[in-house]
Chains A and B, each alone.
Chain A
């Protein structure tokens, strides 16, 4: 039987020349899942290593943030969040446990749902603002709407993070990287031009979509550039990503938020890598509105999520992987989130 287009593409990737020690990082958690689901890691030439990066928002959110959310819930505030956050262990408990113990904690699909809960029920309602550039404009739009409608009982506990500053920190600390497979939907907002700093560091990048064809062809483009010493940022997802991204989304984002230094799990504090509310919206920050007291927690010792997020180890190198830490009983965020590398490795092998 004749091979399908995808089969031929897979063969080409397998046979693609690549020098020993070629190391490519897929930055986005949705790519991690797609790669393992399609088995693309088995199609790579033997000299190429593909590592996961810090692109799972739930995974990079520090324990301290969960502790703050729990402290709010215990004060009787309604806490709303994307569902993925509920199972993430903080330093002592998880939101899911606190909900079982009677706290008002709800999973929502959109920050709009959180605003609706605040409006309809009238109680102090906090939304856990977690995510990257894909999600941040939606949260900014909801903040604007809350302001326009005068919904005074709605606030945000913010931990939004930005992708390019994390890439800058990674490439400064890991000199073995050969290139980045860049996120599709973050790039829909920030555009190809947001990565213009890569060529100066002699690194190629390719913005990729989420189908097997998208990912395989993007990996071949990266290998081709790496082989030839070409350092460019290519947009291989033009059905969604424009060079300038989505300026309307960025304008909404910039109206509400400004950049600030921020801490990431595994990566520490990185300059201008997070978002905080501008003065006009600062009253909407839950940390200002409520006294949140959190005792410093013990560092999570055995969990090596931080190293996984920097692409330094593969999940099976963690002694707890698929033993004490499993998807049904996760000990670290990289196993909790369906987009975490540890979870993707267990689920798809």
Chain B
């Protein structure tokens, strides 16, 4: 239940943001992060960004998800 997915912030509206990954978009809260910016990669859990990632870290993490889905 503690899994989180990397997504990219494509719009910020106050303490909410639109994030996107692999064509999927979501409205999420960004109040659990210190200064979320447009273009940041973030880890999303239960509708909130809980951690920032560098683009490289996000790519690695997305590759791991692909690997897990391939196995599952």
Which residues does A use to contact B, with CB under 8 Å? 28-30, 34, 37-38, 55-58, 82, 84, 109-113, 130-132, 134-135, 137-139, 141-142, 144-145, 183-186, 188-189, 209-212, 214, 239-241, 246-249, 252, 337, 339
Contact = CB atoms under 8 A, between A and B. Distances in A.
A183 B2 contact: yes
A150 B64 CA distance: 41
A130 B56 CA distance: 32
Given A135-B46, A188-B50, A249-B50, A141 B4 contact: no
Given A109-B46, A186-B2, A249-B50, 14 more contacts: A30-B1, A57-B1, A82-B1, A111-B46, A112-B47, A130-B1, A131-B46, A134-B1, A135-B2, A135-B45, A184-B2, A249-B33, A252-B31, A337-B1
A37 B47 contact: no
B32 interface: yes
Interface string B46-66: 111011011001001100100
Nearest to B64: A211
A189 B72 CA distance: 28
A111 B47 contact: yes
A188 B3 CA distance: 11
B50 A339 contact: no
B43 interface: yes
Given A28-B2, A185-B43, A185-B45, A239 B67 contact: no
- B-side interface mostly: mixed
12 contacts: A82-B46, A134-B50, A138-B45, A138-B50, A185-B45, A210-B3, A211-B64, A212-B67, A246-B50, A246-B51, A249-B33, A252-B31
B47 A110 contact: yes
Nearest to A339: B1
B18 to A, nearest CB: 13
Interface string B18-47: 000000000111011110000000010111
Most chain-A Cβ atoms within 10 A of its Cβ — which of B1, B4, B54?
Answer: B1
Nearest to A114: B47
Interface of B: 1-4, 27-29, 31-34, 43, 45-48, 50-51, 53-54, 57, 60-61, 64, 67-68, 71-72
Contacts of B68: 34, 37, 210-211
B67 to A, nearest CB: 7
A210 B47 CA distance: 20
A239 B1 contact: no
B1 A188 contact: no
Contacts of B57: 239-240
Contacts of B47: 109-113, 138
A194 to B, nearest CB: 14
B15 to A, nearest CB: 8
Contacts of B72: 37
B32 A84 contact: no
A183 B64 CA distance: 16
Nearest to A108: B47
A176 to B, nearest CB: 26
B51 A240 contact: yes
B2 A30 contact: yes
